Amino acid sequence: MRRTRSVTMVDIAKRSGVAVSTVSYALSGKRSVSAETRERVKRAIDELGFRPHEPARALKSRASRAISLFFPTARDTLEIESHIFLSGALEATSEFDYSLLVSTATHDPSGIVATLETGRADGVILMEVRLSDERVEKLRADGHPFSLIGRCEDNDGISYVDFDFEDAVCTAVHHLYELGHRHVALLNRAPSIAGADYGPTVRSHAGFQSALRELSLEGDQLLCGTSGAQYIEVLRFLERAPTCTAAITLSVTYAPLLAALRDLGRRVPEDFSVVAIIASQVSDLVTPPLTTIDMPAYEMGRLGAEILIRRLMDDELPPTQLLLRGPLQVRSSGPPPRRSRP
């Protein structure tokens, strides 16, 4: 027996020619809607056979003064940067007297919707965002309040704060080129970790390829898997690419890179240059101190929570969309001594 797709508020909005928020107001009665508009919405509901879940609606009307941050991860523990994001979100929730619930659940949207419909949270923040993300589509279709730390390919009507990975990688490649490097590598995240359309992975690769074409450089992308396998992956890559003299790393891939270089007898920065795109708080913990493009993880966590809470306080606010960049901080992980190169 074929299963019929559920009718959503997006369907009603399209049928009645109004915004999704207007449909929400007409259903909840939270804001005044003209008689004509209310009748159009009612007619669309009748035509489509929409039946709202009454217990869920009743629970949603009770503000919990809590928001939930969903950070899906297959890893056993959260990375250091993850805690920096969380610290920023906690600052915002404390400032506005909200509680923050944190979940490392998978990308299945059902648990997220349940959190909202049972009243455990008033809105959600999504992390590890994919270009086409079923969590986002479900929340947008049902008219639930949410914000993203990251962004999709289609961000119409969505509030987000994201880091410009494409620009950061392009900047890193240009920096290494100016130092004299002609064969560079990008250590990116494997699709098995976050999905083939994981935003930072796709955009980092795009920036890398663009810079290589512009500068006529040789370059390799290494897709790193789980933390336990990264060292072997990097070691094998370096062994088969002896002309590679520099690498750009994302997140924690700097650790297996430095370990592999050390075991191969290649010194940083004397023989090899490294640029890491990581939170500045992390780079201060590494020896040698890494040259970085600083990702404002704390600020992103704070803004992701703040823009959601402000929308909860005033649902007529337009979406907030912020794309942040970070400065290049040259430290002792580059450059090697300048020498003539072909």
Three-state SS at 160: strand
Q: What is the pTM of this model?
A: 0.80
Between residues 240 and 106, the one the model is more confident about: 240
pLDDT over threshold 60, residue 121: yes
Q: Tell me which of 53-67, 110-124, 125-139, 277-291 is least confident.
A: 53-67
Domain ranges of the chain: 9-52, 59-163+298-324, 165-295
Q: Do the domains at 9-52 and 165-295 have one common CATH topology?
A: no
C-alpha dist (Å) from residue 251 to 78, 143, 254, 256, 294:
12, 33, 7, 11, 11
Answer for the pair 134, 195: CB distance below 8 angstroms, yes or no: no
Answer for the pair 298, 84: CB distance below 8 angstroms, yes or no: yes
Mean pLDDT of 217-231: 84
pLDDT over threshold 90, residue 122: yes
Average pLDDT of every residue of the chain: 85
How far is the C-alpha of 159 from the C-alpha of 148, rounded, in Å?
A: 6
| Cis status of the peptide bond prior to 288, with omega within 30 of 0 | yes
pLDDT over threshold 80, residue 50: no
Instruction: Determine whether domain 165-295 maps to CATH 3.40.50.2300.
Output: yes
Which of 18-22, 46-50, 83-87 has the highest mean predicted lDDT (pLDDT)? 83-87
C-alpha dist (Å) from residue 108 to 85, 113, 197:
22, 10, 16
CATH code of 59-163+298-324, in short, is 3.40.50.2300
Answer for the pair 48, 7: CB distance below 8 angstroms, yes or no: yes
pLDDT over threshold 80, residue 31: no
pLDDT over threshold 90, residue 341: no
Answer for the pair 126, 135: CB distance below 8 angstroms, yes or no: yes
Which tens digit of pLDDT belongs to each residue from 175-209? 999 999 999 999 998 876 667 899 999 999 999 99
pLDDT of residue 239: 94
How far is the C-alpha of 336 from the C-alpha of 334, rounded, in Å?
A: 6
pLDDT of residue 299: 96
pLDDT over threshold 70, residue 269: yes
Band (342; pLDDT cuts 50, 70, 90): very low
Q: What percent of the chain shows pLDDT beyond 70? A: 85
Residue type, 278: I
Place domain 9-52 in its CATH homologous superfamily: lambda repressor-like DNA-binding domains (1.10.260.40)
pLDDT of residue 199: 93
Residue by residue, DSSP assigns 215-265 as HT-EEEEEEE-SHHHHHHHHHHHHHH-TT--EEEEEGGGHHHHHHHHHHTT
Band (166; pLDDT cuts 50, 70, 90): very high
Band (74; pLDDT cuts 50, 70, 90): low
pLDDT of residue 230: 85
Q: What percent of the chain shows pLDDT beyond 90? A: 52
Torsion angle (degrees, nearest 10) of CA 34, 40, 46, 50: -70
